[in-house]
Structure 1
Amino acid sequence: MIAFTAAEIAEITNGRLDADPGITPLSVVTDSREATPGSLYVAKPGEQADGHDFVAAAFSRGAVLVLAERPVSGPDGEKYPAVMVPDAVLAMGALAAEAVRRIRSAKAAADGVLTVIGITGSAGKTTTKDLLAGILAQHGPTVAPQGSYNGEVGVPLTVFRADADTRYLVIEMGATGIGHIRYLADMVKPDIGVVLGVGTAHAGEFGGVENIAQAKGELLEALAPAGTAIINLDDERVAAMRSRTDAAVLGFSAEGRADAAVQAINPDTNAEGNPEFDLLLPGGEAGLHVSSRLIGSHHTGNLLAAAAAAFAAGVPGRDIAASLSTQTAASRWRMERTERPDGVTVINDAYNANPESMRAALRTLADLGRGRRTWAVLGAMLELGSDSIREHTAVGTQVVRLNISRLVVVGREARALYVSAVQEGSWGDECVFAETAEEAYTILDAELEPGDLVLFKSSNSVGLRHLGDRIALPPQSVQPADRGSNLL
């Protein structure tokens, strides 16, 4: 972390200093449980809890300063060392922006360079971020988000892990409205911007897909003319973003677009569902073959995006192809495959879901399940607004047309999916509706057989990833009365 004194933090954030000006935090946390000796604790208000209620807990774990919106006193009435600000989250952003500026300055003074890469898109951000970080880490100190830290809190927390030795800073950028990505881009000032796709995720919050496209393109608008825009030419809305940047444009395509500088030649998947292709990069370097260890043909686009960004950052083509061929999924619940000892295969892809990723996961299930009994355990896709019923209905229809053997729909918000599958397929007990994850667990625990392949997919807050984890565990030798007692 770049060091800031308490006095500097107050100046950068336009805050009021109520502490020894020389206090110099060693880390920044927003969760009091993560505080360690020397931490700056950011007491931000949240949807479920107010960080100000946990200031004492943070200091008990070693925090030395709090960034707060109101004074907080200890049990004896003493005030904790603090910088008082109107908005703790915006103050974090200001501090992160200054951290990036100081890192660039320090690198320049030492004849070095910091390359900042921003990644956005409706699906695939975390996978692409992980792949790119894996490539870049072999060529210099690299900082990338933990999990899916991609918002106004997560991006600053990622920045605070960087220091003057950092060569590459990879930033994942999410948004739920117009202006959000512009705010994040202004904070980190990316040299390379990657736009993966414009889908229907969060369409309800955005007010429509066109607004999503407007928001995602804000990343490209933030690039300097000396920067590079990496765009998915297979997505018409992304391809149209060429006109929104003065930076150089490097397009990629998994579908053979002739105007794409980065392409997958002869794309295919092997028997395990892993994408394979010959990688075409600018300059036409021969012999670049990628044999990925990720699951699903839909990852071809993510692999190409990571390759294009790494190429723009100066990594040789052979190193790119070699890295992409060795990396496995670095973040949990993204097409995470588990082979149970009894022969059941579990694919847990329930970290998040939108219509595009749901369709891709179901196609992968069908492809991998040839000759096996397949199960789709599906929950709601949230934040689709007025399109929710239509999109869930379409998924139910797709399940039937892909000849998935069994469908378990979990939760009332996904009931339209169940109804459409029954109507499309006139199914009997091949399709079941479960009110809760516990009901679904009971069904699966009783009916899964050796050789079955089961996919879990839902939006994050639905929680099917936890059900997937339970099912992925080997069956326990317990008495019938105890089966299923380990609740979610």
Structure 2
Amino acid sequence: MIPLRAAEIAAIVGGRLHHVDPATTVTGPAEFDSRKVAPGGLFLALPGARVDGHEFAPAAAAAGAALVLAAREVDAPCCVVEPTGRPEGNSDAYAHDPDGSGAAVLAALGALARDLVDRLTPAGLTVVGVTGSAGKTSTKDMLATILGGAGPTVAPAGSFNNEIGHPYTVLRADAGTRFLVAEMSARGVGHIAHLARIAPPRIGAVLNVGTAHLGEFGSRETIAAAKGELVEALPAAAAGGVAVLNADDPLVAGMAGRTAARVLTFSAAGDPAADLRATGVVLDELARASFTLHDGRGGAHPVRLRVHGAHQVANALAAAAVAIAAGIDPAAAAAALSGHAAASAHRMDVRTRADGVTVINDSYNANPDSMRAGIAALARTAAARDGAAAVAVLGEMGELGEAAVAEHRALGEALAEAGVDALVAVGDSPAVRALAEAAAGAGITSVSAGDRPAAVRAAARILRPGDAVLVKASYADGLWRVAEGLLDEGLQDEGA
């Protein structure tokens, strides 16, 4: 964040100052957790499901916050914005916000972020947007690695990709920032358009259109309509706009007609018509891909990824395409991809215990597409070892609506097709029961576990030295605790 006087902030967000000198300058970052406030920072008094940030304003001020952005007067230096009703963007963000105070602070936060982008863009800031049903975070992390080698880069931590995390990340940028990478999620039509208004991107990448959030959208075509809002928000080609599209996904490739930006395509399948493509893809024993990246300029560059799963090839190509569009040399982009290590927690985090059991912790989130990618990585890892079993510890894929039971049943069948030997199904919802029943019906050893501790015990009984296990579910299930428990099981086996 750039230094701003309290009076400037009030003017930007349409608020009024209370208990503060208008000349007071905010010099630190914005925070919505009072425990993380830095001296000179801006505290965001956002209401939550359990606590209201307004109650923590005095503590934030005592910790050094120069100003509190609030929807009512508090006993601290503050800029007060009036409640405005429901927030723009994700309408589910403040279901617990009956008085609109959260929406007011959120709108003010977005206005402040937009003002910052408007100030920094003429000075050389490039904003990049990334969206897709799967792979957004991995691609965002790869981009941060590549672009970070060319100049100061800001990218969201983890999956800060909604109407709160997006402007919060934007405000991390300052006068020295050259690249701002924005991961953009949607739970409905209009959400990505809203995020793009907060930080207008010059380059936008659409990775894929899958079935994540099918319950909210209703169809893949509606998901495509929402994801395509990113390319619609890009400037025209003459103004430097570039849309990076997946040539292997017809719904994404079809977005070319929705943008005035220059279109740059990529193909993990090696389509020679794509601008960037991969050939010679080979997976090692831990499902890490090596391939040749063809840059569309006649160059061919070797890439050896350190992240796991064949699906990472498409993510790497998308990141390379965005980087090249941003002016990065293709050879430098390929070299950076080869040096990139996983940066976000609980996403294809692969660790091998002392007894040789490999634990694939991909538990941060799940949808049908990412589940199949994780299962493929599991099967590959087990197949590379003589006699090793592939064990899947899976919970529920959320937000699938009426398709939930059918999608989980199909997932159980997919386990058998991939050669998975055993399933531990975590939970007791109709969808998880359908998963377990389908897997058992396909000949897979299937065990049901009611909670996370039971899942650890069940998997520990199945696993033998040298086996591979995938732990994956939607975020709400918190199955990273199972992955941690299985790693601890290995330590206990050693007598630690």
TM range (shorter): over 0.9
SS of equivalent to 2:425: strand
Preserved CA contact (<8 Å) 1:28 1:157: yes
Preserved CA contact (<8 Å) 2:286 2:380: no
Larger mean CA deviation between 47-56 and 114-123 belongs to 47-56
1:302 aligned to 2:315? Answer: yes
1:418 aligned to 2:424? Answer: no
- Alignment match, 2:86: none
- Alignment match, 1:271: 285
1:165 aligned to 2:176? Answer: yes
- Alignment match, 2:361: 348
For 1:49 and 1:211, the matched residues in 2 are separated by 35
For 1:402 and 1:477, the matched residues in 2 are separated by 31
- Alignment match, 1:5: 5
1:455 aligned to 2:470? Answer: yes
Deviation at 1:17, TM superposition (A): 1.6
Q: What is the percentage of aligned positions where both structures have the same residue?
A: 48
Deviation at 1:38, TM superposition (A): 1.5
CA deviation map 1:202-235 (0-9, x unaligned) = 1112232222111110110000002000001111
Q: CA RMSD in A?
A: 1.7
2:24 counterpart letter in structure 1: I
Larger mean CA deviation between 377-386 and 446-455 belongs to 446-455
- Alignment match, 1:47: 49
For 1:45 and 1:243, the matched residues in 2 are separated by 41
Deviation at 1:186, TM superposition (A): 1.1
Preserved CA contact (<8 Å) 1:256 1:263: yes
1:182 counterpart letter in structure 2: A
- Alignment match, 1:219: 230
Match of 1:332 among 345, 349, 361: 345
For 1:206 and 1:236, the matched residues in 2 are separated by 18
1:97 aligned to 2:97? Answer: no
Preserved CA contact (<8 Å) 1:348 1:465: yes
SS of equivalent to 2:4: coil
SS of equivalent to 1:263: strand
Q: Specify whether residues 476 and 307 from structure 1 end up closer, same or farther in structure 2 by C-alpha distance, changes over 3 A only.
A: closer
For 1:404 and 1:298, the matched residues in 2 are separated by 18
For 2:21 and 2:433, the matched residues in 1 are separated by 57
Preserved CA contact (<8 Å) 2:38 2:63: yes
2:453 counterpart letter in structure 1: E
2:148 counterpart letter in structure 1: A
- Alignment match, 1:83: 79
For 2:356 and 2:291, the matched residues in 1 are separated by 30
For 2:422 and 2:137, the matched residues in 1 are separated by 29
1:457 counterpart letter in structure 2: K
SS of equivalent to 1:369: helix
Preserved CA contact (<8 Å) 2:393 2:459: no
CA deviation map 1:20-56 (0-9, x unaligned) = 1112222210111211221211111223332122223
For 2:433 and 2:270, the matched residues in 1 are separated by 38
Deviation at 1:471, TM superposition (A): 1.1
CA deviation map 1:376-412 (0-9, x unaligned) = 0000000001110110000001112222111100012
1:440 counterpart letter in structure 2: A
Within-5 A mapping of 1:185-264 = 185-225=196-236, 226=239, 227-264=241-278
SS of equivalent to 2:308: coil
Preserved CA contact (<8 Å) 1:342 1:474: no
Deviation at 1:64, TM superposition (A): 2.2
Match of 1:367 among 368, 380, 389: 380
For 1:54 and 1:470, the matched residues in 2 are separated by 35
SS of equivalent to 2:51: coil
CA deviation map 1:111-166 (0-9, x unaligned) = xx211111011110111011111011111111111111111111111111111111
- Alignment match, 2:413: 397
For 1:475 and 1:256, the matched residues in 2 are separated by 40
SS of equivalent to 1:455: strand
Preserved CA contact (<8 Å) 2:447 2:458: no
Within-5 A mapping of 1:302-321 = 302-321=315-334
SS of equivalent to 1:292: strand
SS of equivalent to 2:271: coil
For 2:257 and 2:492, the matched residues in 1 are separated by 62
Preserved CA contact (<8 Å) 1:341 1:474: no
Within-5 A mapping of 1:444-483 = 444-473=459-488, 475-477=490-492
For 2:261 and 2:468, the matched residues in 1 are separated by 45
Larger mean CA deviation between 447-456 and 90-99 belongs to 447-456
Preserved CA contact (<8 Å) 1:198 1:237: yes
Deviation at 1:477, TM superposition (A): 4.7
CA deviation map 1:155-192 (0-9, x unaligned) = 11111111111111111111111111111111111110
Larger mean CA deviation between 14-23 and 353-362 belongs to 14-23
For 2:491 and 2:376, the matched residues in 1 are separated by 31
For 1:62 and 1:471, the matched residues in 2 are separated by 42
Preserved CA contact (<8 Å) 2:352 2:358: yes
For 1:394 and 1:120, the matched residues in 2 are separated by 26
CA deviation map 1:52-90 (0-9, x unaligned) = 222233223222211111222xxxxxx311111120011
1:68 aligned to 2:70? Answer: yes
For 1:131 and 1:201, the matched residues in 2 are separated by 22
1:6 counterpart letter in structure 2: A
For 1:54 and 1:198, the matched residues in 2 are separated by 41
2:33 counterpart letter in structure 1: D
CA deviation map 1:211-261 (0-9, x unaligned) = 211111011000000200000111111111001100000010111223210
SS of equivalent to 1:155: helix
Deviation at 1:474, TM superposition (A): 5.3
Preserved CA contact (<8 Å) 1:194 1:305: yes
1:407 aligned to 2:400? Answer: no
Deviation at 1:98, TM superposition (A): 0.3
- Alignment match, 1:110: none
1:259 counterpart letter in structure 2: A
For 1:461 and 1:33, the matched residues in 2 are separated by 24
Deviation at 1:99, TM superposition (A): 0.5
Match of 1:36 among 32, 35, 38: 38
For 2:79 and 2:200, the matched residues in 1 are separated by 26
